[in-house]
Amino acid sequence: MRSLVRWWDTHQLALYIGAIAVGAAIGLITPQAAPSLEHSIEPALMLLLFATFLGVPLIEVKRAFRDIRFLGTVLVANFVIVPMLAWGLSRFVVDDRGLLLGVLFVLLTPCIDYVIVFAGLAGGAGARLLAAAPLLMLVQILLLPVFLFLFAGGAVLGVVDIGPFIRAFLLLIVVPLSAAAVVQALARRYRGGRFIEKIMAGAMVPLMMVTLAVVIGSQIAAVGSQITALLRVMPLYIAFVVLAVAIGKLASRVAQLDVSATRAVMFSTATRNSLVVLPLALALPASMSMAPLAIVTQTLVELVAMLVLVRVAPFSRANHGRASPSRSTEL
């Protein structure tokens, strides 16, 4: 078992690319499977995040809440600087109301779930991102209507519902985090708890593969059906990732964060809350049917970009920060 875990840890990037290819093949060959795959996204993410949270001692999360410099950097980067970038990019699709709202919905909402996993794979400060997740969720709930009013006009406010945000926070953060806390407590006294920790730690790569395959497989056919129109937003999403990573790195440099915190901020600014805002877009009128497809397209672009960034980020020198060997591998 240990040799198998070491093997897929060593080859995880290739395995993730393979999972994306399998998911795409399933989605294109059997598009009727898309609804079932879509229903599997939340359970897959919950298991992946449960395994992730198990690898983060809760004492580290408690300590991270006191890291005001990191939390402040994440909030300023995501809710002051990135919205200006989102506004600028959205001007390229301002003539199409559906695409405009889809782009704004997804680019204005920072990720709170699998960003922790990807940042951890790149040696980012996962415990600090986990501590920031409730703040990121609360602030985006409060500010999304404000940004939509400023960037798209007051008429869109009637279609914004906070329900999907609350549901996602409960299912993707509260439930797996609570389960991880219980298992960590059991592991201090019982062999069964330690066994669960060991199994879930070894299952991280397969769980990520399943999540990638399910997300891609559930959405690829819908994107393919409108690929001509969606080609307009793909360059915008690629530009967003590149510029958002630069924003995260620059903000971290100004705040003089250490290496692992810098990587965490870079992933936070580059990843978006697409799986949470998708229900918002699906609730829009039929005349804006391109909005959910624009969000799905961002998910596909982002997943590929994250696999690249996981490889690139560890080679990105952060000598401006306070290098902390003890934290550089923190998940």
Cβ–Cβ < 8 Å for 178, 22 = no
Q: Which of 128, 129, 134 is nearest to 115 (CA)?
A: 129
Give me the pLDDT at residue 322, please: 46
Q: What is the predicted pLDDT for the residue at 316?
A: 61
Confidence of residue 60 (pLDDT cuts 50, 70, 90): low
37 has a pLDDT exceeding 60:
yes
Nearby residues of 180 by Cβ (< 8 Å), 6 or more positions away? 50, 53, 54, 56, 58
Band (pLDDT 50/70/90 cuts) for residue 255 is: very high
The pair of structure tokens assigned to 131 is 């501590």
User: Does residue 326 lie in a domain region?
Assistant: no
In a domain, 152, yes or no: yes
Q: Does a structural domain hold residue 276?
A: yes
Average pLDDT, stretch 5-30? 86
Asked if residue 321 is part of any domain, the answer here is: no
**What average pLDDT does the segment 212-225 reach?**
87
Average pLDDT, the chain: 85
Say which range, 41-55, 137-151, 317-331, has the weakest mean pLDDT.
Answer: 317-331
Identify whether 325 is part of a domain.
no
Across 111-138, average pLDDT: 84
Q: Which residue has the higher pLDDT, 60 or 277?
A: 277
**pLDDT > 90 in the chain, percent:** 37
**pLDDT at residue number 320:** 47
Whole-angstrom distance, CA of residue 221 vs CA of residue 219: 6
* Mean pLDDT, residues 277-281: 78
In the numeric block, which tokens belong to residue 9? 């840890």
The CATH number of the domain holding residue 258 is: 1.20.1530.20
pLDDT digits (tens, 9 = 90+) for 121-132: 888 988 888 888
Residue 285 belongs to some domain of the structure: yes
In a domain, 327, yes or no: no
The number of distinct structural domains making up the chain is 1
What pLDDT, on the 0 to 100 scale, is given for residue 150? 92
Mean pLDDT calculated for residue range 266-293: 84
Provide the pLDDT for residue 329.
Answer: 37
Distance, in Å, from the CA atom of 267 to the CA atom of 237, rounded to the nearest integer, reads 15
Instruction: For residue 261, name the pLDDT band (cuts at 50, 70, 90).
Output: very high
Higher-confidence residue of 261 and 56: namely 261
Closest by alpha carbon to 277, among 118, 161, 154, 119?
A: 161
Bridge partners, 272 (sequence order): 110
Can you state the angle between helices 290-312 and 274-282, rounded to 10 degrees?
Answer: 170
Whole domain around residue 67: which residue ranges?
2-315
pLDDT-based confidence at residue 174 (cuts at 50, 70, 90): confident
Compute φ and ψ for 319, nearest 5 degrees.
Answer: -65, -15
Given a cut of 50, is residue 321 above it in pLDDT? no
pLDDT at residue 315, as a whole number: 63
Q: Report yes or no on 323 lying in a domain.
A: no
What is the rounded distance in angstroms from the CA atom of residue 304 to the CA atom of residue 91? 24
